[in-house]
């Protein structure tokens, strides 16, 4: 009889314990997603050419299915307001976003707030917004952002992450929101414009599913930028960073130190939203590449297929070791922007990026893709 009571007591304890675990949504067993992303914004253009991507054995693959099978779980798409060439329009983004969601992958939307490329040296407002008064521009950015997010929500492709501006080190929507050189005292206008964009997202995302990201182009120089924004208490969740060694420090200790300082100073998640590394210093078309010299690379990682893979493995480990679990992942920029339809002297479809892609000059998958399978 005593034995029966003991057994029943144990069963009750186990059942109660399991019930508590099921009810506790904050259980430490629940882990956040570590993003292993790719920016595939060029696909809306490249798919018109039927680029024959292949696996490592030379078998033809469908790009989105293939990169998902290799571990990619986040796709980033850039959005231009009214692009003259028709690429990266809202219709392009909506169409590809449906494919991303069909594959059960996460979606990152990159608002450039321009009709073309926006980066630290170029932040041209859309033609439709030029010559507006500042108050009218605030209304324009709010209405535009809200309309885009509403359309994405209506087709069930609400992004997991929305990026307010692209590499906005110097502000955006120049000169309204410029915070560089003679406009260094213009932070309040930049903050006001960002606030209107964020407000639009939050109003559409009533369930709080979307995380807001602000994006700086430099790991080593970003602390100043986010310090300046502290005063304005902007409602954002993620610090987005670019890291291209040809433009930034090649000292790996400096990179890790700056990331750690950002995490402990600002209490925001950190996403390395633009990264890339060469597998060769050669080229496969008639355009000059962004990296073509050994002096532009990191000494620890040779510009070879294995060196490219080792670079990404180091980066993943560095991100995962950011204090307080603030490192949430990376996004490889333009892994698909290959040269094709000709050789280095005859190609009419050139790219300045083919030696930093994840496919070689025969369009076969490189070893770096194995690094995406990390947990």
Residues facing 79 on adjacent strands: 111
Hey, what are 94's tokens?
């909506």
List, as one string, the DSSP characters of 21-56: HHH-TT-TT-----EEEEE-TTHHHHGGGT---B-T
Closest CA to 336 of 37, 28, 31: 37
* In contact, 75 and 38? CB cutoff 8 Å: yes
- Which distant-in-sequence residues (6+ apart) come within 8 Å of 375 by Cβ? 34
Q: What are the φ/ψ torsions at residue 211 (nearest 5 degrees)?
A: -100, 140
Beta-carbon count within 10 A of 169 CB? 21
Q: Is the peptide bond before 115 cis (omega within 30 degrees of 0)?
A: no
Based on DSSP, count helices (H) and strands (E) in the chain, helices before strands. Answer: 10, 10
* In contact, 166 and 78? CB cutoff 8 Å: yes
**Given CA atoms 48, 49, 55, 59 in this order, what sign does their dihedral have?**
positive
Taking the CA of residue 256 as centre, how many other CA atoms within 13 Å lie in the half-sphere pointing to its CB?
Answer: 11
Is 274 a residue of the active site?
A: yes
- Find the catalytic residue in 196, 269, 274, 354: 274
In whole angstroms, how far apart are CA 121 and each of 14, 52, 116, 118? 61, 34, 13, 8
* In contact, 331 and 74? CB cutoff 8 Å: yes
Is 62 a residue of the active site?
A: no
- Find the catalytic residue in 91, 167, 203, 344: 167
**Could you give the CA distance from residue 294 to residue 315 in angstroms, rounded to a whole number?**
20
Burial class (CB in 10 A: 0-12, 13-18, 19+), 116: middle
* In contact, 171 and 229? CB cutoff 8 Å: no
Q: What are the φ/ψ torsions at residue 208 (nearest 5 degrees)?
A: 65, 35
Q: Which residues does the annotation mark as catalytic?
A: 167, 274
């Amino acid at each position: 009889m005593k034995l029966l009571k003991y057994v029943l007591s144990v069963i009750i304890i186990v059942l109660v314990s399991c019930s508590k675990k099921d009810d506790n949504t904050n259980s430490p067993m629940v882990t956040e997603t570590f993003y292993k992303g790719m920016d595939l914004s060029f696909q809306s253009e490249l798919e018109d050419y039927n680029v024959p991507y292949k696996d490592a054995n030379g078998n033809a693959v469908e790009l989105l299915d293939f990169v998902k099978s290799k571990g990619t779980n986040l796709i980033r798409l850039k959005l231009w307001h009214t692009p003259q060439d028709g690429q990266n329009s809202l219709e392009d983004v909506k169409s590809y976003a449906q494919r991303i969601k069909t594959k059960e992958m996460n979606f990152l939307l990159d608002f450039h707030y321009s009709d073309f490329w926006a980066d630290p040296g170029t932040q041209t407002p859309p033609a439709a917004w030029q010559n507006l008064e500042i108050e009218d521009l605030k209304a324009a950015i709010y209405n535009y952002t809200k309309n885009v997010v509403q359309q994405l929500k209506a087709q069930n492709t609400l992004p997991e992450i929305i990026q307010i501006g692209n590499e906005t080190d110097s502000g955006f929507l120049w000169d309204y929101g410029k915070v560089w050189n003679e406009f260094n005292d213009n932070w309040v206008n930049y903050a006001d414009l960002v606030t209107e964009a964020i407000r639009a997202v939050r109003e559409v995302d009533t369930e709080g599913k979307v995380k807001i990201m602000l994006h700086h182009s430099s790991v080593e120089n970003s602390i100043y930028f986010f310090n300046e924004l502290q005063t304005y208490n902007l409602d954002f969740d993620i610090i987005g960073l670019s890291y291209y060694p040809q433009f930034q420090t090649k000292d790996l200790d400096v990179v890790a130190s700056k990331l750690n300082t950002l995490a402990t100073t600002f209490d925001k998640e950190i996403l390395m939203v633009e990264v890339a590394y060469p597998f060769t210093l050669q080229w496969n078309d008639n355009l000059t590449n962004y990296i073509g010299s050994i002096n532009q690379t990191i000494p620890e990682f040779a510009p070879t297929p294995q060196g490219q893979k080792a670079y990404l493995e180091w980066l993943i480990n560095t991100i995962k070791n950011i204090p307080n679990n603030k490192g949430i992942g990376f996004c490889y920029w333009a892994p698909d922007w290959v040269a094709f339809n000709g050789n280095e002297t005859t190609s009419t479809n050139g790219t300045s990026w083919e030696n930093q892609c994840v496919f070689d000059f025969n369009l076969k998958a490189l070893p770096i893709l194995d690094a995406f399978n990390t947990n």
